[in-house]
Amino acid sequence: MLRYAVSGRTSVSIFAQLLVNGLIAGGTYALAAVGYSMVYGALKFINFAHGSVAMVGAYTAFVLVAFLKLPVIVAFLAAMALTAVLGVFVERVAYRPLRRAPKLASLTTAIAVSFVLDASVMILMGADIRTFSLTGMSSFQLGPVFVTPVQAAIVATSLVFMVALYWLLTRTKLGKAIRAVADGVNLAEISGINTNLVISSVFAIGSALAAAAGALIGMDTNLQPTMGFIITVKAFAAVVLGGLGNVWGAVVGAFVIGIAENLGVWYIPPVWKDSIAYGILILVLFFRPAGIFGKKEEGQATVL
Amino acid sequence: MKTRVLALLVILALLVTVAAQCSAPATEAPKATEAPKATEAPKATEAPAATEAPKATEAPKATEAPAATEAPKATEAPKATEAPAATEAPKATEAPKATEAPAATEAAKADKPAVYKVGFVNHLTGDGAVYGQSMKNGTELAVDIINATGGIGGVPVEVIYEDDRLVAADAQTAFLKLVESDKVPVILGSSSSTVSLSICPKAQEKKVVQVSQVSTAPSLKDCGKYFFSVMASDTAQGPEWVKVAEALGVKEAAVMYINNDYGIGVKDTFVAAFEKAGGKLLIVQPFELGAKDFRTEILKVKDTNPKVTFIVDHVPEASIIFKQSAELGFKTQWVTDVSIVAAEVPELAGKEAVEGIIGLRAGSSQTPEYKAFRDAFMKKFNKEPTIWADFAYDAMMLVAKAIEKGGYTSDGIQKALFEVAETYVGPSGAKKFDEYGISQGSYEWMTIKDGQWVLYEK
């Protein structure tokens, strides 16, 4: 086996392609990870249903494109909006009643929510694999690198949304409120902030971004009701790597993992691919237990 | 601090889950038999073949009132076996009437419940859903035909469908439910060899007959006397690929394989056979089940510039690999194993990405039995037969015939299966079992033309 496993040369063009592939993977991880991280920042609990919410977003976009024949861009934005509503609903029904309960309770509910979402989509849409069947999507060449329009969209969308999110968190009243809630729910409440509204907004924004990630992954590859799990796994790794609750840490973590996976598989068998993400994670946690950008103590996690 | 501990615990839990996901899944291995058998077996059984196919639907009738067979056959049986029924009908009614029918009536009369329940365990959801749903289609079609033609000696068949999600533990739970609660003496399934193997010891212990439609791992033959598989267990796909390489006139090729028991098995036999035939392998590249991003793996293969690339895979991963290869400008002649010759592949990968790929198909699509099956399938489901639905159909038909002949008990069915399969030829071919309860088979070469799988013209 091994005699075929190692390719002799690694030319610049291949390195460039690997790097771009890593950016594409990182872009999808980043979109998913940001929402994950915001929820942790605001509520200090790990939303294991996040990947499933992304999956629902992907299927919503698919239904709008395949059955209602909406243009892809319109369907994409509509899916984000609808999934935002779903996120708010899930928080209201499944997490809010448990907000004062131990965090383990919400964590368990989150796992339950992910099962409910996966099963609902499976019942509604069937277990078959689905595909967007987008036309005119053949790849174009940038120098030595092949990229498809969807892949370009993945990187562009993740960058645009990151900038928009930065603006939202730093320049708007809602952003300030979100950061205040992340610093301490009780203090924020005393200061007259409607924390329920703020937390609902966090879920709306996070779910919309998750929907974007899910829909883009779906367009780039395909759709399956079980696709949420792997999104959760990757986003979780990115979030912990970057520092729980820190949005920019999540973005950096996502790109680090995406690039490391793609470069790594060039040299080692792909069976280790998921281990690369978690290997890096464990190494970083050794030296920086709170992640790359994380604050040291619990309760100090901030969104920015 | 508490959060950190919690987070680490969660990571550990996740790692365990991921590891379980990686090690457990799919290994179904559709493999047909050696090529020589392929050409010989059908020839040898051609005549009985013709007589057998109609018998599958008629036998129940024949036992009760031979005269009455003619009328319903004209209206209902044609659904299933139009072609053979039309031409071979006389033979069909004669032979079974004389030899088998009396025995069948006696056995069936012994104990007749209101309905014969048959268990079914397969991957109805999850990564193997393409295969499990297809097995369900084939089984449903067979049940329709059996019940429309009077059931088994007048008793209708009911199949209880259970999902194993391509997870061994779920399959065991489903199996126990079927056996303990529904009290079935026989179950159909599963598809994946790994999953079938996980049920098998329990089936031996509970003395329940297990008929797998497409499990082909060689180790299944040691499973026990209650195990049967209607798809051939062997490692002939590799040698068949060597023939394809010869037909294409290539001495150098690349191989990509899915990293599970099935993929490794096919890859190993091909590597051995190809190198023995003087071929040179440019790269042998594994990839993982359930992944969605294969770009780096593809780039490694592309880097060796193979004219021909052999790939053993499952539908979900293969579709993405073909799509991403096209996106990365990797041009090669793909040659696939039998798991990929499914209508879903051009749908999922996009027509352009898979145009001209060559694939092995288990069985033959050119027999009258298959053509009749295809017509019946299209009538019921309004689409081309899904992958290996013909094998699921034959598994159900064999079980029905075995219940009729041997009675509705595990041991009766177990014994009768060998006898009824002796001469049975269905849409997936002749199903004669060897001493281990495993059928034989053959391949044909297919290619994708305008997004459709069609016979490959050599």
The neighbour count for residue B250, using CB atoms within 10 Å, is 17
Q: pLDDT: is B66 or A137 the higher one?
A: A137
Interchain contact, B10 vs A236, CB within 8 Å: yes
For A261, other C-beta atoms within 10 Å of its C-beta total 25
Among A residues 24-43, those touching chain B with beta carbons less than 8 Å apart: 24-25
Nearest-by-Cβ selection for A21 from B127, B295, B303: B295
Q: Which of B316, B82, B385, B138 is nearest to A227 (CA)?
A: B316
Categorize the per-residue pLDDT at B320 as very low, low, confident or very high, splitting at 50, 70 and 90: very high
Nearest CA-CA partner of B165 in B25, B317, B259: B25
CB B120 within 8 A of CB B162: yes
Residues in chain A: 304
The whole-angstrom separation of Cα B420 and Cα B432 is 8
Closest-CA residue of chain B to A272: B288
- Using only the alpha carbons of chain B, give its radius of gyration: 23
Beta strands in chain A (DSSP E): 140-142, 145-147
Instruction: Return the exposure string of B206-241: e unless at least 16 CB atoms fall within 10 Å of the residue's CB, then b.
Output: eebbbbbbbbbbbebeebbebbbbbbbbbbbbbbbb
Q: Which residues of A touch B287 (CB under 8 A)?
A: 270
The CA distance from A243 to the nearest CA of chain B, in Å, is 11
CA distance B305 to B176: 51
Write the pLDDT tens digit of every residue in B379-397: 999 999 999 999 999 999 9
The dihedral formed by the CA atoms of B82, B88, B91 and B97, expressed in degrees to the nearest 10: 0
Average pLDDT value for residue range B57-64: 39
CA gap A241, A283 in Å, rounded? 9
Judged against a pLDDT cut of 80, whether residue A190 lies above it is answered with yes
Mean pLDDT of B59-81: 39
Nearest CA distance, B15 vs chain A (angstrom): 8
Residues in chain B, total: 458
Of B281, B299, B319, nearest to A14 by CB-CB distance is: B299
The C-alpha of B391 sits at a distance from chain A's nearest C-alpha, in angstroms, of 20
Neighboring chain B residues of A152 at a CB cutoff of 8 Å: none
Q: Measured between alpha carbons, how far is B176 from B182 in angstroms, rounded to an integer?
A: 9
Would you say residue A8 has pLDDT above 80? no
The neighbour count for residue B169, using CB atoms within 10 Å, is 13
Name the residue in chain A with its Cα closest to that of B321: A221
Q: Is B161 left (phi over 0), alpha (psi -120 to 50) or beta?
A: beta
Burial class of residue B9 (count of CB atoms within 10 Å of its CB; 0-12, 13-18, 19+): exposed
Q: Are B30 and B389 in contact (CB under 8 A)?
A: no
Please return the burial class of B457, using the count of CB atoms within 10 Å of its CB with bins 0-12, 13-18 and 19+.
Answer: exposed
- Give B218's DSSP letter: G
CA distance A65 to chain B (A): 15
Partners of residue B10 in chain A, C-beta under 8 Å: 46, 107, 236
B190 upstream amide cis, omega within 30 of 0: yes
Q: What is residue B369's predicted lDDT score, i.e. its pLDDT?
A: 95
| Mean pLDDT of the B354-372 span | 94
Is the per-residue pLDDT at B325 higher than 80? yes
Of all residues in chain A, the one with the smallest CA distance to B283 is: A4
Contact residues on chain A for B284, CB-CB shorter than 8 A: 1, 4-5
**Are B67 and B98 within 8 A, CB to CB?**
no
pLDDT digits (tens, 9 = 90+) for B174-197: 999 999 999 999 999 899 888 999
Please answer yes or no on whether A285 and B292 come within 8 Å at the CB atom.
Answer: no
A-to-B residue pairs, Cβ atoms closer than 8 angstroms? 136
Please indicate if any CB of chain B lies within 8 Å of the CB of A146: yes
**pLDDT of A7 strictly over 50:** no
Look at residues B358, B46, B366 and name the one whose alpha carbon lies nearest to residue B374: B366
Give the up-direction half-sphere exposure of residue A271: CA atoms within 13 A in the CB hemisphere. Answer: 13
Handedness of CA A107, A109, A114, A115 (dihedral sign): positive
Could you give the angle at the alpha carbon of B202 between the alpha carbons of B201 and B207, nearest 5°?
A: 100
- How much of chain B is in helix, strand and coil states, percent to nearest 5? 55, 15, 30
Neighbours of B68 (CB within 10 A): 12
Supply φ then ψ for residue A11, to 5 degrees: -75, 165
Chain A: closest CA distance from residue B87 (Å):
39
Structural domains in chain A?
14-125+150-287 (1.10.3470)
Choose the weakest-confidence range: A177-186, B39-48, B244-253, B425-434: B39-48
Maximal CA-CA distance, chain A: 67
